[in-house]
């Protein structure tokens, strides 16, 4: 199976390559794709070196699958071209997420909604993925009325330039990079640009995408997204109001039974999720699970995941695995154009 990775030289693209290899996805031929500026450079995969191609060169070779992590603009332009060539596209940008004709997929939550006709499939925002993984079992058992979430997001979510800015600051170089302020020893309560009502685009993504994935746009969600000087993953503090009364032990049992979720919650020995311990893992970790003493039918919890893996690359590969299991890879149906 020919597999293209579009954006192969970036942080998420490089992680996609590692996860394809780790999970032994059946890649017979890799087509790494990047901008014309990077074309001709080399990437490593499964013990071999591959030459980075342009998108046109990759499309000409008719891959069966393309994993995209190249930004919204390139995705809007290139994803339809790959799909028209009979290639299934899994896109990590925000380009297609709220398009009503495209599926927004977290396999453990709504993978069953995929059909053979889906040729452009959207990968959700990193912070949204880990949140809905935790919310899904609560939704199925008790129903969800409202969620208030505050995020503590790693610089890796911005990309390699942000990592370089953090490391340069720690080395004593105060030159600013992608952030308008220093990030080391600091928190920046802005991720992406401000929009209506002074809500950032990142906050809006969490509020809009979650309802689409969970299949319930009546769930009220309020988000505050903050960039922190961390490289291991994203953390989230959630306050969740349920529709029915619950017992905390039942909540913990429901979360522990959710595929892809690990409960780390033992206050007596200071056990709870931290990005330092979750880096390099594909699961979503949940802890600090406790009743909100100020309001009925409401709980608090702490959710951590590696944003480059489950928050991006791993989720995309899991979607590809779902398609493979259904027998839809290589593509068996040409998209209507």
Catalytic residues: 126, 234
User: Can you tell me the distance from the alpha carbon of 159 to that of 70, in angstroms, rounded to the nearest whole number?
Assistant: 11
In eight-state DSSP terms, residue 312 is I
Q: Give yes or no for a contact between 33 and 55, defined as CB atoms under 8 angstroms apart.
A: yes
Residues 6+ apart with CB under 8 A from 327: none
User: Can you tell me the distance from the alpha carbon of 35 to that of 57, in angstroms, rounded to the nearest whole number?
Assistant: 12
| Closest listed residue to residue 252, CA positions, set 206, 196, 193, 301 | 301
Terminal Cα-to-Cα distance of the chain (whole angstroms): 23
Residues 6+ apart with CB under 8 A from 335: 83, 84, 86, 117, 119
| Closest listed residue to residue 315, CA positions, set 125, 163, 149 | 125
Three-state secondary-structure class, residue 133: helix
The CA angle 120-122-127, to the nearest 5 degrees, is: 170
Q: Give yes or no for a contact between 165 and 176, defined as CB atoms under 8 angstroms apart.
A: yes
What's the alpha-carbon Rg for the chain, to the nearest Å? Answer: 20
């Amino acid at each position: 199976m020919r597999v293209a990775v579009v954006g192969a030289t970036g942080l998420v693209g490089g992680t996609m390559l590692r996860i394809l290899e780790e999970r032994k996805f059946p890649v017979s031929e890799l087509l790494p794709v990047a901008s014309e500026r990077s074309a001709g450079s080399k990437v490593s995969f499964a013990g071999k070196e591959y030459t980075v191609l342009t998108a046109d060169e990759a499309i000409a070779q008719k891959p069966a699958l393309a994993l995209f992590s190249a930004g919204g603009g390139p995705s809007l332009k290139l994803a339809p071209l790959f799909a028209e060539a009979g290639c299934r596209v899994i896109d990590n940008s925000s380009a297609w997420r709220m398009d009503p004709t495209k599926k927004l997929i977290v396999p453990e939550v709504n993978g069953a909604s995929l059909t053979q006709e889906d040729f452009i499939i959207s990968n959700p925002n990193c912070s949204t993925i880990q949140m809905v993984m935790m919310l899904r079992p609560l939704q199925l058992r008790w129903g969800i009325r409202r969620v208030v979430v505050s995020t503590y997001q790693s610089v890796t979510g911005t990309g390699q330039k942000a990592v370089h800015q953090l490391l340069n600051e720690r080395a004593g170089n105060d030159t600013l990079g992608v952030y308008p302020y220093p990030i080391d020893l600091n928190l920046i309560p802005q991720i992406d640009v401000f929009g209506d009502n002074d809500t950032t685009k990142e906050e809006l993504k969490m509020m809009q995408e979650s309802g689409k994935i969970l299949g319930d746009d009546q769930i009220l969600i309020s988000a505050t997204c903050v960039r922190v000087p961390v490289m291991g993953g994203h953390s989230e503090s959630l306050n969740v109001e349920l529709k029915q009364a619950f017992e905390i032990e039942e909540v913990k049992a429901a979360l522990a039974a959710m595929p892809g979720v690990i409960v780390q919650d033992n206050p007596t020995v200071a056990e709870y999720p931290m990005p330092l311990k979750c880096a390099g893992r594909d699961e979503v970790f949940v802890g600090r699970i406790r009743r909100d003493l100020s309001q009925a039918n409401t709980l608090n919890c702490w959710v951590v995941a590696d944003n480059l893996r489950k928050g991006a690359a791993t989720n995309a590969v899991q979607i590809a695995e779902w398609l493979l299991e259904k027998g839809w890879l290589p593509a068996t149906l040409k998209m209507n154009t």
